[in-house]
Every structure is written in C-alpha cells, then in structure tokens.
Amino acid sequence: AQRVTQPEKLLSVFKGAPVELKCNYSYSGSPELFWYVQYSRQRLQLLLRHISRESIKGFTADLNKGETSFHLKKPFAQEEDSAMYYCALSGQTDSWGKLQFGAGTQVVVTP
Amino acid sequence: GAGVSQSPSNKVTEKGKDVELRCDPISGHTALYWYRQSLGQGLEFLIYFQGNSAPDKSGLPSDRFSAERTGGSVSTLTIQRTQQEDSAVYLCASSLRRQAEAFFGQGTRLTVV
C-alpha cells in the first residue's frame, strides 16, 4: 500500500532562513511525487512535481529513491511562503494512480 | 469552466438529515477525487473515479457515504443521516489522467448541528 509521511506538523522559521519540509513515502514501484500548497483562503494548488525538476518560487525537491524521500527545500524563506504544504504520491498500480496525501506541514515565516 | 467548481460553498444541516455535495470537474478530465479536510487534520481520501473503471471507494468512512459520477463528468457525494463528526470541508479535484496534476475546487464547508 502507498503511504506518505510528513513528520512535522508545524515549522516556524525566520525570514531569510532556510526551510526544509520532510516527506517520506512507502511504495513498491515507480511513484510520482508532488508538493501541493494551500495559502490562507485559497485553493489547494500544485507547487511542484518531481518529474519536472523545476524550481518554483525558489523551492526545490529531489526524489531520493534510496531513502524514499522527497523533501522540499528553500534556501531563504519569505513571509509569503507561510502556508500549509502537502506532500503527495501517485502510484502506478494502486487504483490506477490515486493521489495520496501526507498529513501536511504548516509553515510560518516570521519577520 | 475555468476550474473545478463545487456547490454549495457552505452547507449547514441538522443531524440526521441527508446532504448532497456537487462537483463539476474541468472538462475532459478523466480522474476525479473527493477528499475531506477536518479542522486540524490533513487531507483524508474518500473516493476516486478514473475513466470508466470501477471507483476506488476505499476511503469512504461508513456506508452512509456514497458518490457517483454521471457521464464521466459531474460527481455527487451523498452523506445520509449526517452526524456531527461529518462536519468538515469536502474537497473535489480532477486531473487530465492518472498521475497528472490535480486541480482542486474551493471546497464545500459542511456543518452538522
């Protein structure tokens, strides 16, 4: 079965400090990993996905198959990064690609 | 439409009543999801439709919950004999195909009093 674990419920960082959100997954196969973000009073939206290898809003995430991790990183946090972040996995065998989310990490960036 | 649309935005119902929540996905999207977001909780998977395949209902919390998707488009989530613990924000999402980006609606906030 597929599972996504985000061990931190809350991350509080100062503006300009680095931030790293941890995500570990359990899946036997080749999953697709995503990070979704929900800003206050806005819809949940895609931040980035591992196959695109992009940097979005300064965030990057590297898929480490050996450690089954997909941590999200940003070298210099900004106040506008305050939001709820969800790591998600889509498998190839379970339910034809069902999207499974972690519990989420609330990020608070203080000036 | 421009995105996934859900209705109503807010619903207050009395305990024991049935409710129907509607989701209009993005046209052409074959995958449709329902999730529940309770206060202080993450995203709880409820049900997943993919094309003409049998839906994955493994996340439905009880037999009071059911969902259907008519014509591969609009979906309705029905909760029978609502309970106070059903109070949550119900989110619908759709994607072009499996493993593609999911687009979320604004959610329906359900309050059972």
Mean pLDDT of B50-74: 91
Mean pLDDT of B18-24: 98
CB A77 within 8 A of CB A16: yes
Cβ within 8 Å, pair A49-B41: no
pLDDT given for residue A97 in this prediction = 64
A111 min Cα distance to partner chain B (Å): 25
pLDDT in tens, chain A (111 residues): 778 999 999 999 999 999 999 999 998 778 889 999 999 999 999 999 988 878 889 999 989 989 999 999 999 999 999 999 999 998 766 555 678 899 999 999 999
Give the closest of A36, A45, A90 to B99, CB-based: A90
Cβ within 8 Å, pair B56-A97: no
Bridge partners of A32, per DSSP, are A90
pLDDT given for residue A94 in this prediction = 55
Mean pLDDT of B29-49: 89
Determine what percent of chain B is predicted with pLDDT higher than 90. Answer: 74
C-alpha distance from residue B17 to each of A85, B61, B92 (Å): 34, 17, 22
pLDDT given for residue B75 in this prediction = 97
Give the closest of A46, A96, A101 to B42, CB-based: A101
Q: Is B25 exposed, middle or buried (0-12, 13-18, 19+ CB in 10 A)?
A: buried
CA nearest neighbour of B55 among B47, B66, B43: B47
Residue in A closest to B95 by C-alpha: A99
